[in-house]
Amino acid sequence: MSSFRANSSIRGILKVLLCVLLASALCFTSGCRLLSKDNLAALFSRTENTEPRDQTEENEPDETEPDETGSGTDGKDKSGGDQRAVYTMDLTLDTVAHSIGGSVTVDVFNYSDDEWDSLCFRDYPSLFTADNDYDLTVDGKISDILNIKDEDNDRDLKMERSTEDVSVVYIEMKDAIKPGETRRISFDFVSYVPLLEDRYGYTNDMYNLSNFYPVLAVYEEGDWVAHPYFVNGECFYSLVSDYFVTFHTPSDMTVACSGEETMAEEGTWSVEALSVRDISAVIGKDLKVVTDEADGVQVNCYYTEDKRWAEIAVKAGVTAIEAFDEAFGPYPYPEIDIIQTYLFAGGMEYPSIVLIYKDFESSKDPDATLSTVVAHEIAHQWFYSLVGDDQYDEAWLDESFASYAEYVYMETYLDEDEIEGRVDYVQDIMGGDSFTNMGNTLRLNRPYDDFGDDDSYVYTAYYYGKVFLYRLREAMGKEDFTLMMKAYVKEFSNEVATTEDFVDYVHTYAGDNEDVDKLLQVFLPGVE
Ligand SMILES: [Zn+2]
């Protein structure tokens, strides 16, 4: 998600703050500092030596063979291949009932050491009812999940919703799934899409279908992870899976989806999305598309009327993919879909698809804001999508990285001093009274419920984090930092990384470096 908030009528102060912060940052000039604190400025002061660290051949990290300390041996071996879940879905969008649903089979692989006598799925659409806890006026209904079956044992199964959270659905397995076993289960579902400008919601003839189907939760340390939903960020956590989906829609609608979509015939669309943590689809009337290519990746931008918007977005998408290929390693999917749609956030990321707010005219520099939001969401293709993380527990592992990537993108058209000025600007704000009064610390690796409010969460995950990574790059030297990032991304591709995993890589590639150690102590205290 982008920290830019599009509709200030929904969330008042937070959005105003964020809009001001982002708009200010985008139009920053070097003489434009608002606030500074000497004590924090000292912590962030530029290192004397910005040259790449002097390394002997013996200890120079190899990009393709990271040190053993960075191999992510925390027990989270959830790689894909034969172990991944496979979803086959046949779905119909009903634009009269405003619902999406159909039949699903899931081949579930038990990657744990425990027998699974129940499965946990997340049914987020059921949260979008009139009595939701999210300060949103919506008209959705609790989803129906019916006809649940263990296909391999030909047994009907029952489900139960958590009494605390209706989105947490447990399916009781009459025959437990043994470690290493794959079991096919099937069910029908229908989710009701609320009238809402959100990642899940419809407005006019545009349906944003994200987190719209029951998705398997992650089993970790003997239990299913079932974080609560929240609006101003992401709480999603799922493992890489393969999806084969058919969408039936009214004949005048277009489907843009994670993976590759093809129209089999009018009103019938086939989607194949491989190695993705989940899928999102936007289905709309009168969608036009402009396309381009970046390093062999097809870049599609879907829009309704504003072709100029689309051309800016596509250009940003191409530039971002090329820059991030250099900085983090190759873009992992055959295509990227950029969708101009209704959102209350500036943008929202899903695998190989990004939803972008349709109109940034309230921003001081709409074109620059649009481009930066596109770049931010595309950076999530590496951080969240390719390298997974528990977004509730360690949001910084994707939000801070995607926010830092905004600087990488800007480096394609701004000189170093200007970027440095922008980093200084955010850093100065971080030391200002507005932050200290909010009682924040600078520790990045905190779960959502550890933040006092959404402001603290957003500032930490987005702004503290991107300054940390930028300063880390300065302290390590760009060459070593880039080697580290590429090795980290490669190692945790299609898997799940933790803060400890990342810090392992920092130690391996930075070696003895006082400036790096100081940054780690400030931003990730206690992480060894
Ligand atoms: Zn984001």
Q: How far apart are CA 141 and CA 521, in angstroms?
A: 47
- Between the CA of 384 and the centroid of ligand 1 the distance, in Å, is 9
- Between the CA of 252 and the centroid of ligand 1 the distance, in Å, is 32
pLDDT of residue 68: 36
- Between the CA of 338 and the centroid of ligand 1 the distance, in Å, is 15
For 302-313, write each residue's pLDDT tens digit: 999 899 999 999
- Between the CA of 380 and the centroid of ligand 1 the distance, in Å, is 7
Torsion sign over Cα 20, 21, 25, 30: positive
For 387-440, write each residue's pLDDT tens digit: 999 999 999 999 999 999 999 999 999 999 999 999 988 888 776 444 444 445
Do 56 and 216 meet the contact criterion of CB atoms below 8 Å apart? no
| DSSP string computed for 459-509 | IIIIIIHHHHHHHHHHHH-HHHHHHHHHHHHHHTTTSB--HHHHHHHHHHH
- Between the CA of 162 and the centroid of ligand 1 the distance, in Å, is 29
By DSSP bridging, strand 268-276 and strand 260-265 are antiparallel
pTM: 0.86
pLDDT of residue 76: 39
- Between the CA of 375 and the centroid of ligand 1 the distance, in Å, is 10
> What one-character DSSP code corresponds to residue 71?
S
Q: Give the DSSP H/E element, type plus range, for residue 466.
A: helix 465-476
CATH code of the domain occupying 82-379: 2.60.40.1730
Q: How far apart are CA 328 and CA 382, in angstroms?
A: 8
Do 425 and 410 meet the contact criterion of CB atoms below 8 Å apart? no
Do 142 and 126 meet the contact criterion of CB atoms below 8 Å apart? yes
- Between the CA of 117 and the centroid of ligand 1 the distance, in Å, is 36
219 Cβ contact list (under 8 Å, min separation 6): 110, 111, 112, 114, 116, 120, 225
- Between the CA of 348 and the centroid of ligand 1 the distance, in Å, is 7
For 153-190, write each residue's pLDDT tens digit: 999 999 999 999 999 999 999 999 999 999 999 999 99
pLDDT of residue 245: 98
- Between the CA of 158 and the centroid of ligand 1 the distance, in Å, is 37
Write down the domain spans for the chain: 82-379
- Between the CA of 53 and the centroid of ligand 1 the distance, in Å, is 30
- Between the CA of 150 and the centroid of ligand 1 the distance, in Å, is 37
Closest Cα to residue 402, out of 389, 422, 383? 383
pLDDT of residue 139: 83
Tokens standing for residue 213: 């189907």
Phi/psi zone of residue 469: left (φ > 0), alpha (ψ -120 to 50 degrees), beta? alpha
Residues of the chain falling short of pLDDT 70: 4-82, 135, 431-440
pLDDT of residue 344: 86
- Between the CA of 213 and the centroid of ligand 1 the distance, in Å, is 22
Q: What is the mean pLDDT of the chain?
A: 85
- Between the CA of 477 and the centroid of ligand 1 the distance, in Å, is 25
Residue 265's DSSP bridge partners are 268
pLDDT of residue 4: 65
What value, to the nearest 5°, has the Cα angle with vertex 202 and ends 198 and 204?
A: 125
- Between the CA of 379 and the centroid of ligand 1 the distance, in Å, is 8
Residue 87's DSSP bridge partners are 106, 243
Q: How far apart are CA 99 and CA 207, in angstroms?
A: 10
- Between the CA of 22 and the centroid of ligand 1 the distance, in Å, is 13
